Amino acid sequence: MTNTYLRRHAPFWISILAGIAIWEIAGRSTSAAFMVPFSETLVRLWQLIRSGEFIGQFLDSAQLFLTGFVLALVIGAPLGLLLARVRFLRIGIEPYIMILYATPMVALIPFILSMMGFGFAPKVLVVFLFAVFPVLYNTVEGARSIKPELIEVAKSYRSSERALWAEVMLPYTLPYIMTGVRQSIGRALVGMIAAEFFLSSTGLGQLIMTASQNFDTGGVFASVFVIGLIGVGLMRVGLKIEQHFAHWRQ
């Protein structure tokens, strides 16, 4: 058991250790203002955690992320399903969703800033805008992939509208919705940091900004490192969710 575990995961750990070693050596052989070795990054991170600064900012960011993301999900998915049932609307709105999906939403941040100012709401709006279109786009895509025969059969058996949704629409679009969820987790994270950078500075974004303004390279490395880890973790969660629902697709 331990043997197979080792054999399976040894390359992973070797590559992680090698990466840390390269980081450490590169950090030690350059100036401290330029790059900080891995060990010092950890020390700085520990200081930030112990002072309580890190936890507070982390919770701030988590609140922003979750509010925006959940809003995107509870608005995007039902709206997408509704569009799927109303053919005229779906055909009419699809190209616009595609356009918005491909538009870099960051470009709207300056407008949001000057219209809504510095509160919590404008930042939630940014996260929401980043996250909602992947959900919407994939939901509509999934609903479009439902074979018309399925709905026709359900109808010819006089299935009620409610049963049609529960038995046909939802099971068929759910895997697509989950693809949207995975994509929008990633985008919401980008939106969160962008909102914290360019609107009122709070959370992990503020942690980085303050460190960078104070030329505290260790602080920059520590916070970028942590946000990177959070990104990787969230990506994993997204993939797991998507895979869990993917077998429905067949």
Partner 1 sequence: MSDQTIGVSVSRAVAPKASPRAQWLLANAVPRIVVGVAILLLWEFVVRALAPAYVAKPSTVVMAIPRVITDPAFLSATGQTLLAVAEGLAVALVIGTVIGLVMGRSAMLERAIRHYVNGFYAVPMVVVLPLFSLWFGYSSATRIATIIFAAVFSIIINVADGARAVPREYLEVARSFRSNRLSVLVGIVLPSATPYLLAGFRLAAGRALIGAVVAEFFLSVGGVGYYILYNSRIYKHSEAFVGVLLLAAFGVGFELLVQWVTRRFMPWYRRGDKS
Smallest distance, partner 1 to C-beta of residue 222, A: 11
DSSP the chain: -HHHHHHHHHHHHHHHHHHHHHHHHHHHHS-TTT---HHHHHHHHHHHHHTTHHHHHHHHHHHHHHHHHHHHHHHHHHHHHHHHH-HHHHHHHHHHHHHHHHS-GGGGHHHHHHHHTTSHHHHHHHHHHHHHHHHHHHHHHHHHTS-HHHHHHHHHTT--HHHHIIIIIHHHHHHHHHHHHHHHHHHHHHHHHHHHHHSS--HHHHHHHHHHHTT-HHHHHHHHHHHHHHHHHHHHHHHHHHHHHHGGG-
Q: List the interface residues with partner 1, window 145-184 (CB under 8 A).
A: 183
Nearer to partner 1, 118 or 197 (CB): 197
Nearer to partner 1, 169 or 194 (CB): 194
42 contacts partner 1 (rule: CB under 8 A): no
Q: List the interface residues with partner 1, window 13-32 (CB under 8 A).
A: 14-16, 18-19
Nearer to partner 1, 65 or 168 (CB): 65
Give CA–CA dist 178/246, Å, rounded.
8
Q: List the interface residues with partner 1, window 191-230 (CB under 8 A).
A: 192-194, 197-198, 208-209, 211-212, 217, 220-221, 224, 227-228
Cα(first)–Cα(last) distance of the chain, in Å?
A: 34
Nearer to partner 1, 169 or 203 (CB): 203
Q: Which of 67, 75, 154, 186 binds partner 1 (CB under 8 A)?
A: 186
Q: List the interface residues with partner 1, window 93-132 (CB under 8 A).
A: 93, 95-96, 98-100, 102-104, 106-111, 113-115
- The residue whose two tokens read 């090698």 is 18
**How many chain residues bind partner 1 (CB under 8 A)?**
54
The site for partner 1 (CB under 8 A) is made up of 11-12, 14-16, 18-19, 33-34, 88-89, 91-93, 95-96, 98-100, 102-104, 106-111, 113-115, 183, 186, 189-190, 192-194, 197-198, 208-209, 211-212, 217, 220-221, 224, 227-228, 231-232, 234-235
